[in-house]
Amino acid sequence: MQDAIILGGGISGLTAGYQLQKRGLDLSIIEKNVGPGGPISTLRSQGYLVERGPNSLLLSDPWVESLLNELGLADQVLETRPQAKKRYIVKNGRPVSVPSSPLQAIATPLFSLRAKLGFLGEPFRSRISDQRGDAETVASFVRRRMGQEFLDYAIDPFVSGVYAGDPKQLVLDYAFPLIRGFERDHGSLVRGALALKRRRKREGAAYKKRSISFREGLGALPATLARKLGNRVWLESKVVAVNRMEDCWQVTWKRQGENFEGFARHLLVCLPAYAIKRLAWTSDIANPLQEAPDLPFPPVHSLALGFRREQIEHPLDGFGVLAPSKEPTTILGALFSSSLFPDRAPDQHALLTTMIGGIRQPESASFSQEKLLEIALSDLKPLLGISGDPAFVHLSSWPRAIPQYTAAYGSWRNTLHGLEDEFPSLHFGGSSVDGIAMGAAILSGKRLAANVEEANQV
């Protein structure tokens, strides 16, 4: 019998496995795909470096950075170029830069004078009324504190960029818990943000957050972890059933038509919510899981488009452009990938990564590459002044891309916590539990490994 079996070889499962392996535990990671890392995967083609899923990792926790150092990835880290700090939002069909100083905020055409005057009143607005409680949506909160225009031209595109989601459906406490704390503890977003900054400075904990990638793309991280884990990672292995036995877990998976079985004291579940629900579990686990609501997982298409630089009039001096749902654009946005990091496109060429789909367009799951290309070009050509056809096209489609932390997430998480309380050797993690960004998934893996270690010490 092994110490642990980890279901799912995404970044959370790999991080958990690596931590447990370092502590000398015997484990297996079972992953259905041919490669590790879930959507974190990079390819090089015709001189372009294409990120099929995530494009950047926000380093916001020193532990994640120390993990990269320990893995020997420090000298491959690339920080986003300084000129990529600028962000654009579509307004009236034009890309408008997001203000980054008080002076720019006064001058920006992104918001009307009335909306700008309204922002000044934010610190004096009253706190949430009780009846809205912890189920308040992001949209309701932002409208209440900052007004409709801020929701439409700042938060809505931001939520599309991060969640491919809809602020009217995401619950603030689940999707952005820090923000709720600003209002609860300080009565205002502005006062809360300033207080956090002061506290971090006082505690000397002013860790400098930054967005990074690696010279060979983000895929280098799961690839390195998987290499360190060696034959503990079972690829092309689809978990089908989990049986709770008296003193261990029995896991069954299929690999190339053959059934395999493993037994372990701890079970770490790092799968998306829908995959957890699909497994054949022992009934005392299956029943609560079936009763828990489904988390929406909208599709996202990532369409990499390469152009000769002279085909694009826009300076591409930024991170990218996001499209608010109020605008007639269909795309969610486009990253200026070759401006973000060096060596993403051949000399004198540019790479744009266009995102299409999300909760705004669930029907896009069935769109062909031809149709997606047509959508992308009809939006991007007038927006960025592009002429002619792309020299390079690569499509990566994620039919169930990102879990949405809607009202359903509260009872989903409670169900998992209830099961963990009942069965202390069962641990749930990953982006359907601990936060949807790559950094959160890494920290989730760390948390699960620590839980196992703690349980072993009791």
Per DSSP, the three-state class of 222 is helix
Return the number of other C-beta atoms located less than 10 Å from residue 120's C-beta.
Answer: 9
Residue with tokens 């298409």, as numbered in its chain: 301
Q: Does 157 bind ligand FAD (CB under 6 A)?
A: no
441 in contact with ligand FAD (CB under 6 A)? yes
Cβ at position 38, least distance to ligand FAD in Å: 2
272 binds ligand FAD (CB under 6 A): yes
Name, in order, each residue with C-beta under 8 angstroms of 163's C-beta and a sequence gap of 6 or more.
170, 175, 358, 359, 402, 404, 405, 436
**456 in Cβ contact with 450 (< 8 Å):** no
Token pair belonging to 63: 């532990």
Give the single-character DSSP code of 293.
Answer: P
Q: Which is nearer to ligand FAD, 146 or 436 (CB)?
A: 436
Q: Minimum distance between the CB of residue 151 and ligand FAD, rounded to whole angstroms?
A: 23
Query: In the window 230-259, what residues touch ligand FAD (CB under 6 A)?
Result: 238-239
Q: Which of 135, 254, 123 is nearest to 191 (CA)?
A: 123
Tokens of 304: 């990499």
Binding mask 374-413 for ligand FAD (x = CB under 6 A): ------------------------x--xx-----------
* Residue 50 contacts ligand FAD per CB under 6 A: no
**Per CB under 6 A, 54 contacts ligand FAD:** yes
Asked if residue 431 binds ligand FAD (CB under 6 A), the reply is: yes
Query: Cβ of residue 124: shortest distance to ligand FAD, in angstroms?
Result: 35
CB closer to ligand FAD out of 147 and 272: 272
CA 310 to chain centre: 33
- DSSP assignment letter at 386: B
Nearest to 263 by CA among 15, 28, 24: 28
Taking CB under 6 A as the criterion, the residue among 175, 416, 438, 448 binding ligand FAD is 438
> Site for ligand FAD (CB under 6 A): which residue of 4, 18, 19, 53?
53
Nearest approach, Cβ of residue 127 and ligand FAD (Å)? 31
Nearest CB to ligand FAD, comparing residues 185 and 236: 236
State CA 361 to chain mean position distance.
Answer: 18
Q: How far apart are CA 76 and CA 227, in angstroms?
A: 16
**Where on the chain is the footprint of ligand FAD (CB under 6 A)?**
7-13, 30-33, 38-40, 53-58, 238-239, 270-272, 275, 300, 302, 398, 401-402, 430-431, 436-439, 441
